[in-house]
Amino acid sequence: MGDTIAVQAFNKADTVIAALDSIAKSRGSRNYALLILQDGCLGSTRTETDGKAQIDTNRAIKTWITRYRNQFASVSFNRVDRNYGPYALAERLINEAFEKSGFVIFSEDDVIFERDAIQWFERARRDPGFQREEAWAIAGESKFFEAQRHTPSRADINRALEVARMQRLMDRFVYFDVVPSSCFATTRDKWAEFGKTRGVARGDRAVVERCRAEGKLCLWPVVSRCRDIGMHHPLGWGVRWRGADHPVFKNSYIVSSMLENASGDLRQLLPEENSALLNEFTLSWMM
Kindly report the CATH number assigned to the domain that includes residue 109: 3.90.550.10
pTM over 0.75: yes
HEC profile for the chain? CCEEEEEEECCCHHHHHHHHHHHHHCCCHHHEEEEEEECCCECCCCHHHHHHHHHHHHHHHHHHHHHHHHHCCEEEEEECCECCHHHHHHHHHHHHHHCCCCEEEEECCCEEECCCHHHHHHHHHHCHHHHCCCEEEEECCCCCCECCCCCCCHHHHHHHHHHHHHCCHHHEEEEECCCCCCEEEEEHHHHHHHHHHHCCCCHHHHHHHHHHHHCCEEEEECCECEEECCCCCCCCHHHHHHCCCCCCCCCECCEHHHCCCCCCCCEECCHHHHHHHHHHHCHHHHC
CA–CA distance, 164 with 277 (Å, rounded to integer):
10
Q: In what order do the strands lie in the sheet with 135-139?
A: 74-79, 32-38, 3-9, 103-107, 183-187, 135-139, 217-221, 172-176, 267-268
Say what the pLDDT of residue 287 is. 34
Question: End-to-end distance of the chain based on CA atoms, in angstroms?
Answer: 49
> Which is more confidently placed, 160 or 234?
160
Is the distance from CB of 241 to CB of 231 less than 8 angstroms?
Answer: no
Q: Taking 90 as the threshold, does the pLDDT of residue 275 lie above it?
A: no
Domain that holds residue 174: 3-286
User: What is the pLDDT at residue 250?
Assistant: 60
Amino acid of residue 260: E
Number of domains in the chain: 1
15 backbone φψ class: left, alpha, beta (φ>0; ψ -120 to 50) = alpha
- Give the per-residue pLDDT at 221: 97
Under a CB-based contact definition with an 8 Å cutoff, are residues 146 and 98 in contact? no
Decide: 8 and 86 in contact? Cβ < 8 Å: yes
The residue-averaged pLDDT of 234-261 equals 65
* Per-residue pLDDT, 283: 45
DSSP-assigned beta bridge partners for residue 34: 5, 75
Burial of 133 (0-12, 13-18, 19+ CB in 10 A): exposed
Q: With bands split at pLDDT 50, 70 and 90, how would you rate the model's confidence at 239? A: very low
Over residues 73-109, the pLDDT tens digits come to 999 999 999 999 999 999 999 999 999 999 999 999 9
